[in-house]
């Protein structure tokens, strides 16, 4: 039975939503040999958080637009990828600190993890109120592995496309291509999750893990190119 939002529910949901994202943020930031300004990273992270209600408002309109379930999932995926890219473009890409190719990946991941933090928190609150503590913990574990990695991987793809065209005229086109790739990945992952059951969910996570591993090697390649 649903219950009111208590202080303990809010605390546990915030912890379950933010701690995994902060862990992943630490993991990716330590890959940057020339750390970005902390105030800019904080602004981008908060910007990612603020994009959640914006995305939810647009997704709500899509939900009641009368289009098919698959089209709704597709639209939701692209909405979330676009708002994460948009906030990074507004805050970081015009900043003088954005001066290296790898920065594009760092800032996109930072916004993605801010977005994932609040999104995961809201999911945990909903599950806690509907099903209780144990189910909420289960949701937290699943979203720690799945949704957080998905947001990281999809946004990093956009960042990587920008990184590889950093000083080229094709940067805008590459960013658009990255957005298409990120939205497609997001859509297919959500589709797999909805059609998977129990252990099959872990199978759906395999492509995401492979992309994350590839991104680690990709960042190393970009950093080596920077030092030449």
Query: Tell me: the pLDDT tens digits for 98-111?
Result: 988 999 999 999 99
Let me know the angle formed at the C-alpha of 100 by 83 and 85, rounded to the nearest 5 degrees.
Answer: 5
Does pLDDT of 203 surpass 90? no
The CA distance from 63 to 67, in Å, is: 8
Does pLDDT of 193 surpass 80? no
Query: Tell me: the pLDDT tens digits for 168-188?
Result: 888 899 999 999 999 999 998
Tell me the pTM. 0.87
Does pLDDT of 6 surpass 50? yes
**CB 155 within 8 Å of CB 84:** yes
* DSSP single-letter state for residue 168: S
Instruction: Note the pLDDT of residue 200.
Output: 58
**CB 149 within 8 Å of CB 186:** no
Instruction: Note the pLDDT of residue 144.
Output: 53
Which residue has tokens 């089209």? 71
Share of the chain above pLDDT 70, in %: 84
Which residue has tokens 């909805």? 194
Domain positions in the chain? 7-227
Task: Decide which of 114 and 122 is more confident.
Answer: 114
Q: Tell me the mean pLDDT in the region 219-223.
A: 76
Instruction: Note the pLDDT of residue 139.
Output: 47
Q: Tell me the mean pLDDT in the region 28-35.
A: 80
Query: Tell me: the pLDDT tens digits for 32-87?
Result: 778 899 999 999 999 999 999 999 999 999 999 989 999 999 999 999 999 999 99
| Mean pLDDT score across all residues of the chain | 85
Structure confidence at residue 136 as a pLDDT band (50, 70, 90):
very low
Let me know the angle formed at the C-alpha of 206 by 200 and 212, rounded to the nearest 5 degrees.
Answer: 150
Two tokens at 2? 């649903």
């Amino acid at each position: 039975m649903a219950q009111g939002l208590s202080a303990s529910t809010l605390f546990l949901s915030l912890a379950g939503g933010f701690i995994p994202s902060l862990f992943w943020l630490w993991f990716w930031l330590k890959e940057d040999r020339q750390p970005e300004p902390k105030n800019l990273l904080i602004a981008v992270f908060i910007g990612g958080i603020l994009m959640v209600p914006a995305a939810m408002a647009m997704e709500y309109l899509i939900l009641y637009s009368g289009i098919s379930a698959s089209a709704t999932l597709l639209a939701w995926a692209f909405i979330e990828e676009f708002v994460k890219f948009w906030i990074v473009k507004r805050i970081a890409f015009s900043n003088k600190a954005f001066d290296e190719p790898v920065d594009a990946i760092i800032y996109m991941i930072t916004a993605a993890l801010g977005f994932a933090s609040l999104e995961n928190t809201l999911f945990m609150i909903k599950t806690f109120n509907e099903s209780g503590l144990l189910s909420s913990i289960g949701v937290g574990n699943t979203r720690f592995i799945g949704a957080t990695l998905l947001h990281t991987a999809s946004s990093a793809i956009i960042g990587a496309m920008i990184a590889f065209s950093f000083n080229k005229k094709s940067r805008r086109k590459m960013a658009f291509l990255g957005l298409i790739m990120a939205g497609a990945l997001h859509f297919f992952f959500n589709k797999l999750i909805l059609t998977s059951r129990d252990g099959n969910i872990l199978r759906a996570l395999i492509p995401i893990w492979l992309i994350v591993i590839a991104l680690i090697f990709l960042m190393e390649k970009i950093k080596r190119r920077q030092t030449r």
